[in-house]
Amino acid sequence: MKLVPKLRKEKKVINLHGDELIDDYAWIKQKDWQSVLKDPSKLNGEVLKYIKEENDYKSDQLKDLTDLKNKIFNELKGRIKDKDSSVPIKDGAYSYYSKYLENSEYPQFLRIDGNNKEEVIFDANLKSKDFKFFNLSSVSHSHDHKYLAYNVDTNGSEHYDLSVEEIETKKVITKKIENTTGEIIWHPNNKIIFYTVLDNNHRPNKIFAHEIGSDPANDQLIYEEKDAAYFCSPSLSQSKNYLLIRTGDHQTSEYWFSQIEDFRNIKCFKKRKDREEYEIDHANGIFYILNNFNECKNFKISTASIEDINIWNDYIKYNPKHLLLDFTVLKNWFILFQRVDGLNQILIKSLENSEEHLIKFDDETYELSLSGQYEFDTDLIRISYSSPITPATVYDYNCKERKKILRKTQEIPSGYEKDNYVCKRVLVSAHDQEQVPLTIFFHKDTPLDGDAPLLLYGYGSYGITIPDSFSSNRFSLIDRGFVYAIAHIRGGREKGQEWYENGKLMNKKNTFLDFISCAEYLCNNQYTSKGKIIAQGGSAGGLLMGYISNERPDLFLGIIAQVPFVDICNTMLDEELPLTITEIPEWGDLKNNKKAYQYIKSYSPYDNVKKQNYPNMLITGGITDPRVTYWEMTKWIAKLRDCKTDNNLMMLDMNMDAGHSGASGRYDYLNEVALAYIFALKISNKATS
């Protein structure tokens, strides 16, 4: 039996706003942390030894479940169609798609011409064979179909290398442009690509133009963002007439634009103003602008002409009950993606006669998304649909005929019967009587008598909505008697912009209290009982996991905290970290605002660890993660171990070959899912099946 790992203490005190911020483990963040993210072998030897001891301890604690883990892995894999392909997307003379070969971790990218001749244009399996980690951010063909540009991260640090090849000959035209964000924008002349580079603190702040085949050292700087709180990215307008550059933080945005043939002559569309957000596109000679100006919190659509971009006219008028999320403009159609009553909708508006109609679905809860497309002069759009118990379905929708054309339904090779499962969406009264949406699904044979273990998932930050989409993985728990629930708590945009704003800054505790209210509802209505719930959340959802483990450990049997953002005070005081400055609008300015400091410190998971019993906990991390760095979860578990007064299971799983998103291969990733599930089954006393 491995001994419980122990990390030495070295007290560090930060004096701020008349208060002391004490950290006994700050020393494990080394000065050259940027180099560690790129090359983990540079990690301090003592810290590396400790992390290895944690990984070994985790393996030792779960060694009796090796067979079960393998069984669950095979279940997860068995629900994935091994030889699978996406639905081709038409672009002129070719249609482009991806395909997985038998037992492959990564896809091939292909195209097919009008004679049904199939051609492999990029094989990620071949490109990845020399790497333990391989994340392909983008694969983008030129408008004339002659060249292919792609971006690859080979260690999980989210530094991407950009290359360009000639499709027909596979000849490398541009070998490698290092340190990019993963975006690729092709100039319509097919000779130039636009890309974004990262500064020393991993912030995307410069956009360059590269002439393919030339020396990247000579690439021309097109735009530089001087404000460290703002990140920038390029795009090409739908009309292909304009280069667009967006810059912004979590609550403010600004666009720069230029005619594509004169892309060096870039100018501002509308100057940034705090808390004003807008997104633009150009088509049919008009600029379309999604914006929240004039107190339109849930956004409206305006239009402007190139002759006077300062005069905006309403195109889609403001409706406070409709959250406008995105739009696409085609030659004859305006496509609006919106959320109403917590559910996504697609509205189609004719540019010829202004007639409107909605694409409707009848399920109680579902996820609906609009896929990207290449062609402009078309009546077809691509949409994807699923629900927690409905496998993903891909449709082409004919805007003119108002008809859905089924293109693909997700296959579950090992078998799946939708009628065996029940899915509900309820509203839960929170501490302040706000109504929180809660999605619940389970096997029809699971008794709802309070005896079932339950996994409750939550996130609640950045305005990100957790979709009610299908995941075949969850059935490895549901088929073993688990109830599965998703709490759509404040901090997301499930119920509009105010739902987000009421779960951030000085309202952040609403996120945590909403989750607790959902947990209590599930107990009170006998979906489960107190002490039978396993909570799961990752990244900013890990902050949620940290709070509930400190404040309501009695409610939860276990916590699965994946790449958890738990050391919020120290992180938000460290302006060298990639996200700190740009995240001030999300969390608050601890350094310069005493009230913000006091409020954040009052809920910061790391700073509120105390002498008490804690739930069973599985904490995960990635050694090259630039978003939630390796020292956060390492410090946290060390402090938890020092304070916990129980014998519950507490483990750290640090992936030494990956970053924030975990393993990169489609099957490799399933090992991480299986780990979480055997932990849940072990502590629920269901690890025998």
pLDDT tens digits, one per residue of 123-145: 999 999 999 999 999 999 999 99
> Which are the contacts of 384, defined by CB distance < 8 A and separation ≥ 6?
367, 368, 369, 371, 392, 393, 394, 395
Tell me whether residue 241 is in a domain: no
Beta strands 89-91 and 356-359, pairing class:
unpaired
Q: Is residue 346 part of a domain?
A: yes
The Cα-based distances of 441 to 44, 422, 481 in angstroms read: 45, 5, 11
Indicate which residue of 281, 567, 625, 668 is catalytic: 625
- Among candidate residues 539, 549, 661, 664, the one labeled active-site is 539
What tokens were used for 637? 């578990």
Q: Are 637 and 618 in contact (CB under 8 A)?
A: no
Domain termination site, one of 412, 441, 458: 412
Would you say residue 383 lies in a domain?
yes
| Element holding 256 (H helix, E strand) | strand 253-259
State yes or no: pLDDT of 178 exceeds 90. Answer: yes
Statement to judge: residues 487 and 544 lie in one domain: yes
* 297, burial (CB in 10 Å: exposed 0-12, middle 13-18, buried 19+): middle
412, 444, 462: which is the final residue of a domain? 412
Same structural domain, 563 and 477: yes
Assess whether pLDDT exceeds 90 at residue 598. Answer: yes
Q: Are 460 and 390 contained in the same domain?
A: no
Burial of 207 per CB tally in 10 Å (0-12, 13-18, 19+): buried
Q: Which CATH number do you get for residue 513? A: 3.40.50.1820
pLDDT (tens digit, 9 = 90+) per residue, 60-82? 999 999 999 999 999 999 999 99
197 part of a folded domain: no
259-268, 432-441, 657-666: least confident range: 657-666
Mean pLDDT of 328-332: 96
Same domain for 403 and 514? no
322 among known catalytic residues: no
Domain-embedded: residue 295: no
Determine the residue type at 459: Y
Q: Where are the beta strands (DSSP E) in 67-134?
A: 84-85, 89-91, 94-100, 108-113, 118-123
**Half-sphere exposure of residue 74, counting CA atoms within 13 Å on the CB side?**
6
The reply to whether 377 and 432 lie within a common domain is: no
Phi, psi for residue 64 in degrees, rounded to 5: -75, -5
404 and 433 part of one domain = no
Q: Is 531 exposed, middle or buried (0-12, 13-18, 19+ CB in 10 A)?
A: middle
Is the four-CA dihedral 282, 288, 289, 290 of positive or negative sign? negative
Mean pLDDT of the chain: 96
Tell me the C-alpha distance between 256 and 265, whole Å: 10
| CB neighbour list of residue 302: distance below 8 Å, 6 or more residues apart | 288, 289, 291, 293, 312, 313, 314, 315
Q: Does residue 664 carry a catalytic annotation?
A: no
Same domain, 506 and 387: no
74 belongs to a structural domain: no
Q: Give the range of the structural domain holding residue 406, as residue numbers without chain letter.
A: 321-412
**380 shares its domain with 450:** no
Under DSSP, is residue 374 helix (H, G, I), strand (E, B) or coil? coil
Do residues 80 and 103 make contact, with C-beta atoms less than 8 angstroms apart? no
Select from 373, 396, 412 the last residue of a domain. 412
Q: Position 651: which residue type?
A: M
569 and 678 part of one domain: yes
Task: Go through 20-48 and write b for each residue having 16 or more CB atoms within 10 A of its CB, e for each that does not.
Answer: ebebebbbbbeeebbebbeebeebeeebb
Q: Are strands 220-224 and 322-329 parallel, antiparallel or unpaired?
A: unpaired
pTM of the predicted structure, to 2 decimals: 0.96
Residue 247, in any domain of the structure: no
- Which pLDDT score is estimated for 431? 98
CA distances from 436 to 61, 320, 341, 493 (A): 37, 18, 12, 12
User: Distance between alpha carbon 77 and the CA centroid of its chain, in Å?
Assistant: 22
CA 575, distance to chain mean position in Å, is 23
| Beta-bridge partner residues of 206 | 197, 224
Answer whether residue 476 is part of any domain. Answer: yes
Residue 514 and residue 646 in one domain: yes
Whether residue 150 contacts residue 109, with contact meaning beta carbons closer than 8 Å, is answered with no
Q: Are residues 482 and 396 in the same domain?
A: no
Backbone Cα Rg of the chain: 25
For 300, the 3-state DSSP assignment is strand
CA distance 13 to 17: 13
Q: What is the pLDDT of residue 689?
A: 63
pLDDT tens digits for 449-503? 999 999 999 999 999 999 999 999 999 999 999 999 999 999 999 999 999 999 9
Catalytic site residue 476? no
Q: How many domains does the chain have?
A: 2
DSSP character at residue 639 = H
Q: pLDDT digit string (tens) for 181-216?
A: 989 999 999 999 999 999 988 999 999 999 999 999
- What distance in Å separates the CA atoms of residue 643 and residue 565, rounded to the nearest whole number? 19
Q: What is the pLDDT of residues 545-594, one digit of tens each?
A: 999 999 999 999 999 999 999 999 999 999 988 889 999 999 999 999 99
φ, ψ (nearest 5 deg) of residue 54? -65, -45
Q: Are residues 378 and 430 in the same domain?
A: no
Cα(179)–Cα(416) distance, rounded to whole angstroms?
Answer: 43
